Amino acid sequence: MPRPPSQSRLRAPLNKILGTEANIRLLRVLSLAGTSLTAGEVAQRAALGRTGVYPALAALEETGIIEYLGVGAHRQVRFRPDHPLGDVIASLFRAEAGRLDALVDQLRTVFRSSSSRNVLSAWLDGTALTDRGTTEAPKNTDFITCYVVADAKTLSHVLEDVRTQLPRVEEQLEVNIDIVGMTRSEIAIRLTPAAFQDPVLLAGVPPLALLDDSKTKSARELRNRVVHEHHDDSARRLAHAIAAKLQRDPSRARIARAHVQERMLVASKQEQLELKEWLRLLSLPPVMLQRFLVDPSPRATRLRQSLPALGLITPREREAILRAQSEDEVEAIVSRGAKWK
């Protein structure tokens, strides 16, 4: 096939800017980061090798859509929103990320149906929502797993109710959703620690909380492995973001309290103990609550693993927060999120 004739860079600048997958990955990371990053950080977030990232960054710098700041080992790169096409390109990646927000919102609506009170926990496999996901799916179809936990007497009814409503969501967003249902006693048997990695909660309580009061050896062993493999760093970054949101709008604590109070109606006695603890914390003065959320104490560390206020963070913000390297970057993500809404 003959090579197509070249086009004017003035008339068709996107040929160069979006010309390769590496360029697109780098622009996605930089436009959504909201701050400057080192080349190594960009390469890691874009899942690109360092040897391949430098030529792509050089090509993008030539177009003017990105620029380097500083010199030497401290040099960083940033997206240029003031570029003539900067706002348009950034809005393209925001719209792309917004698809995930729409998916989560619609699935939460599904679980707010008549059977929602029978759901102990429902969550999306977080690894499939990031570059860590490795699940293969049919061509042109995005695949994701949704885990649902309910009592044995109501599980089949819950699954039937959810599966009846899923085709509409799958067709509208062009996604393939696999529903995996189980009882509380089956969690430790059927799931691995990876299933608990950065879950996106849809209904009920975070799945890790369901292992707290289990008396089986397998559940205790699974919980220990999950806590060991899922370090508190991620939970602290999310908690820091929630604290920043509460600082901007203390009334958000009421949203979290309402969620916990609704959950109390169907929680087991042991589960209610932890939920009551969160209710007390969410009633603290805003400054004290914000301080507790990021406290390094054992109690705060334990409770962060089942943070009920995660509903205050959108999936788009969550992915960016989990990749953040500093508290300043987390706060920049929260600030940018407020502008998106």
Q: What is the mean pLDDT of residues 127-144?
A: 53
329 burial via Cβ count (<10 Å: 0-12, 13-18, 19+): buried
Cα radius of gyration (the chain):
22
What local confidence, expressed as pLDDT, does residue 212 receive? 56
**Nearest in space to 262 (alpha carbons), one of 278, 242, 246:** 278
In a domain, residue 5? The reply is no
Report whether 243 contacts 334 (CB < 8 A): no
| Same domain? 107 vs 187 | yes
Provide the residue type at 168 as one letter. R
- 143-191: pLDDT as tens digits: 788 999 999 999 999 999 998 898 888 888 888 888 899 998 888 777 7
Of 180, 212, 244, which residue is a domain's last?
A: 212
Instruction: Report which of residues 252 and 214 the model is more confident about.
Output: 252
Residues composing the chain: 341
pTM over 0.85: no
What pLDDT score was predicted for residue 133?
A: 41
- Tally of structural domains, the chain: 3
Instruction: Tell me the average pLDDT of the chain.
Output: 78
Residue 221 in domain: no
Q: Could you tell me if residue 70 is left (phi over 0), alpha (psi between -120 and 50 degrees) or otherwise beta?
A: left
Confidence of residue 138 (pLDDT cuts 50, 70, 90): very low
Q: Are residues 235 and 336 in the same domain?
A: yes
**Same-domain status, 139 and 30:** no
Question: What is the predicted pLDDT for the residue at 242?
Answer: 84
Query: Which residues, 6 or more positions from 281, have their beta carbon under 8 angstroms from its beta carbon?
Result: 289, 292, 303
pLDDT at 340 over 60: no
Quick: pLDDT tens for 102-131.
888 899 889 887 666 789 889 887 666 654
- Which token pair is 307? 């943070």
**60 and 142 co-located in one domain:** no
Q: Is the pLDDT of residue 135 over 50?
A: no
Residues 313 and 299 in one domain: yes
Q: Is 204 helix (H, G, I), strand (E, B) or coil?
A: strand
Whether the Cβ atoms of residue 191 and residue 181 lie closer than 8 Å to each other: no
